[in-house]
Structure 1
């Protein structure tokens, strides 16, 4: 069994939109309100794998009337749960070595917290966080404020496990592309120089140059050091945490996900089983979301299944925080 097949075995492929929606929304769902931890606090404390992070946020910005939305101005409940899950040494992305110290990751709708970037980046080559321009100042503040915590916390998670090597939610955004840090492929644990922030408007921007703009040296490297390989503009993993809440943004969000994933070839099980080196690994897409509106969820799933094959990850790999009945969902996507 190849590594991706091993990963897919941890979930259940979704074949029918209405059946999946009924299954998920017919069960009792905990009341998480909108899903913010504390929308009035200037900062909140969260714990990831026993390490405490201080996340600065902007209640004033959240309550403003900025065109394009302000939901990324505060920390949402699902984010610490997702950050803890994605960095667990038992997460199948790590145990299959699909993620390792050579991996590059891109996140959509990162918000101000930088929490997923802080926890994941020490175990990979480079992490690109994208959102609207208005979140960048607080994103960088949180990155700097928690860098030392990220350094100490990384010692017991992900890349060191078992010796393996390693919300702005779309809408209108600034057209400028500005990386918050420089690329450093050999970044040590806790060194946030391998985290970049850039703006990405799901409705107007083309994501094909993300890698080249943020980590140009990485974009020119070949997976097998084959001189005949064309430039790899793609990513090992695409993440999005709680970006699905507005029906109007579903289509541009899904389209952006598909465009990023198509920077690499789609998954071909027969080639993977034969160990073919003629193509790079496909981009794995992980979408985490809070259960809110069944209508919005169905819209997202229907749109997604036109472009992707979709698996809902099982309780045995999601753990207590994200398993069924918590009000949160995690789906794995592979572009068609």
Structure 2
């Protein structure tokens, strides 16, 4: 308690409260947190190792899977260790610089994740609508360039937020009722005029979600049109199977994201701890499920993972 009071009086430190009203259950809540995180790391690192070792998997599709796996490793890693430190050791203090850094990397990875899903939709579009030109249109070098562009875009979009917030004075009450440095909580603690920051964050949300989802919907609209023109039922089935996995991954990412945004903006009657748990699950569940979905749905990858595990044993 003494450490808590000391940290609270420190003007360079914020207090992350974890999950308010559920403090007594923090130890129990840490069990699924750590379990999901470990499964996520094991699944995504296994995917990266298998793709790296198997020459037959050095293709654009699997390079995109590696990019997705990297974002799935980074996303919970920026949140879970600090959350577990709160749950297990009551280490609630975090510096202002550390808080802004966590916010920057977390949202940068999120925008990068969305860009990767857009590139994967483009990959499926080329594979189905222009199969004969797939190898000439998409190469590993092009995928790497698109990944770099996605990373630059993410940094360019997100960097102004922590820079603008770092110039704001923060009020005496530096308590954040969350397990992470959520930007809306920082807005509420800022004592200066944050009109520009609010407008920028709203524009950013609509630009990223709106632009990326529009491109994905457009890609799948063209894919469905191409599939409907195919007369063979077997070809229909094959084409749909190539898209089902990506659609499942998109649903695990965008559905909780949109749901979380709407519950925060409109769900005023929802208890704060429900908002926090939903926000944390959004960062934990998709990274855990993605390698499982691809491992089950992609036969070539499933066979290589089985071979890799057997060889390791």
Normalised by the shorter chain, which TM-score bucket? under 0.3
**Which of the pair has more CA radius of gyration?**
2
Q: Which has the higher contact order (CA 8 A, sep 6+)?
A: 2
* Structure with the larger helix share: 2
* Structure with the larger strand share: 1
